[in-house]
């Protein structure tokens, strides 16, 4: 096999995809046309990529495009029967893979896999492979609802080595609107990263997580507002990481600056002001096993926002008065919580992080507090990476070195799951 050298493209610090061997198995769904660009994105992140097309997929997407974008041969059905291969190709490929992206997964390939058939290069590679598999089905909504497909998909949920990614709803190539649309490529990338970070862990299965993300926006007048530079990235990644680990996730979010596809699979509750965020969170609190308050909520708001736009020359005088503090949302949730609920708060700090965070942790009464700097490059608002301190029960303080926000999200979820497990040991999920 070629393509073993160091990645040709620079990737971000600690990118979980860099240098990893990703085997992309593409079966016969029209969603296969999305794969060449996804393969290109993987290669640009430093991954080593090999592609296999099923016989039907060969008619739907260009093997030449895939070979060119992956910088490696794209394997077709006929390649399995080469008289020059010293070892069977499906074994070579299966042993090469560190992780498998099975996308799109057709109804036929799903059935073959679940029933142990190995009658194509793709199917035999899949059976021979011991690496974790991210499986992303795509099909017409009636096919997806068919009892046989439902049964096969249910069966897959219980396999330890598989991260099954439900298709979403939307306009399908058959002109229907409904379930069966392959997960967005941006979400496939996140899920693949997640697989490389924590494997197919499903320790949040059966649990409900409530997450807040993004800034709030407090109006001054119809044309102006008070807000902050939060993008919502940390909260949204926490929500997706929990979903990949089996949780049902409610996301209450202010105006976000992340790829809208990252909201796929989450129950979203968009809000604008701190008051609306508080109402939404309090409405959802009772049903949640845990809460992660990653939103950057405004500290102050106008007691009475102007109903007409203020003239420029009146701004200064008007802004000198008329402010009121926003109630502390985290503290309010802590006061109202059911006894078994675990709560993680965030503290954005400038200057010295730990001393301030200790005082905040004592004041807020949450189970965990993650304090991160916002006055350094590579951490805080709008950054792809973060670092900080996690303060927890029994005065436990853990330093988290700089890393990607998805990796951090997983560490925080593990800490939150620990709190839940300690609190209600009889509810340890049966997940992996």
Ligand X SMILES: Cc1cc2nc3c(=O)[nH]c(=O)nc-3n(C[C@H](O)[C@H](O)[C@H](O)COP(=O)(O)O)c2cc1C
- The catalytic residue positions are 174
Pairing of strands 290-293, 342-349: parallel
Nearer to ligand X, 63 or 402 (CB): 63
Residue 312 CB partners (closer than 8 Å, separation 6+) = none
Dihedrals phi, psi of 276, to nearest 5 degrees: -70, -35
Question: In residues, how long is the chain?
Answer: 432
Nearest distance, CB of residue 21 and ligand X, angstroms: 23
Q: Residue numbers of the site for ligand X (CB under 6 A)?
A: 27-31, 54-57, 106-109, 120, 138-139, 143
- Identify whether the C-beta of residue 238 lies closer than 8 Å to the C-beta of residue 292: yes
Nearest distance, CB of residue 151 and ligand X, angstroms: 15
- Identify whether the C-beta of residue 38 lies closer than 8 Å to the C-beta of residue 74: no
Nearest distance, CB of residue 149 and ligand X, angstroms: 8
Residue 7: both structure tokens together: 């990645």
Distance CA 138, CA 144 (A): 8
Nearest distance, CB of residue 65 and ligand X, angstroms: 17
Nearest distance, CB of residue 113 and ligand X, angstroms: 9
- Identify whether the C-beta of residue 342 lies closer than 8 Å to the C-beta of residue 421: no
Distance CA 416, CA 363 (A): 19
- Identify whether the C-beta of residue 201 lies closer than 8 Å to the C-beta of residue 132: no
Nearer to ligand X, 151 or 363 (CB): 151
Residue nearest to ligand X (CB): 28
- Identify whether the C-beta of residue 280 lies closer than 8 Å to the C-beta of residue 271: yes
Nearer to ligand X, 28 or 246 (CB): 28
Nearer to ligand X, 178 or 219 (CB): 178
Nearer to ligand X, 109 or 285 (CB): 109
């Amino acid at each position: 096999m070629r393509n073993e050298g160091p990645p040709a493209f620079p990737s971000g610090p600690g990118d979980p995809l860099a240098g990893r061997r990703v085997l992309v198995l593409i079966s016969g769904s029209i969603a296969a046309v999305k794969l060449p660009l996804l393969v290109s994105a993987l290669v640009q992140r430093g991954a080593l990529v090999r592609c296999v097309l099923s016989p039907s997929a060969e008619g739907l997407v260009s093997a030449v495009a895939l070979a060119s974008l992956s910088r490696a041969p794209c394997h077709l059905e006929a390649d399995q029967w080469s008289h020059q291969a010293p070892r069977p190709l499906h074994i070579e490929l299966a042993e090469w893979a560190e992780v498998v992206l099975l996308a799109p997964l057709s109804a036929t390939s799903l059935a073959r896999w679940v029933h142990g058939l190995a009658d194509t290069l793709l199917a035999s590679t899949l059976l021979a492979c011991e690496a974790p598999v991210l499986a992303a089905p795509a099909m017409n909504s009636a096919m997806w609802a068919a009892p046989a497909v439902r049964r096969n998909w249910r069966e897959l949920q219980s396999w330890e080595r598989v991260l099954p990614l439900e298709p979403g709803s939307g306009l399908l190539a058959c002109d229907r609107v409904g379930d069966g649309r392959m997960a967005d490529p941006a979400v496939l990338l996140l899920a693949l990263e997640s697989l490389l970070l924590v494997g197919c862990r499903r320790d949040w299965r059966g649990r409900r997580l409530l997450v807040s993300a993004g800034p709030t926006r407090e109006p001054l007048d119809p044309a102006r507002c008070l807000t902050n530079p939060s993008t919502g990235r940390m909260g949204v990644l926490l929500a997706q990481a929990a979903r990949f680990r089996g949780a049902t996730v409610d996301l209450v979010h202010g105006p976000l600056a992340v790829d809208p596809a990252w909201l796929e699979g989450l129950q979203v509750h968009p809000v604008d002001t701190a008051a609306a965020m508080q109402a939404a969170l309090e409405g959802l609190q009772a049903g949640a096993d845990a809460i992660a308050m990653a939103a950057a909520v405004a500290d102050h708001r106008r007691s009475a926002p102007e109903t007409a736009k203020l003239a420029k020359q009146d701004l200064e005088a008007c802004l000198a008065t008329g402010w009121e503090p926003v109630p502390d949302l985290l503290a309010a949730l802590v006061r109202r919580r059911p006894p078994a609920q675990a709560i993680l708060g965030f503290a954005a700090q400038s200057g010295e992080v730990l001393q301030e965070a200790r005082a905040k942790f004592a004041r807020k009464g949450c189970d965990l507090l993650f304090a991160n700097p916002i006055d350094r490059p590579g951490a805080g608002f709008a950054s792809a990476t973060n670092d900080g301190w996690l303060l927890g029960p029994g005065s436990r303080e853990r330093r988290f070195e700089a890393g990607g926000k998805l990796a951090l999200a997983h560490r925080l979820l593990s800490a939150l799951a620990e709190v839940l497990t300690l609190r209600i040991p009889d509810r340890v999920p049966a997940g992996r």
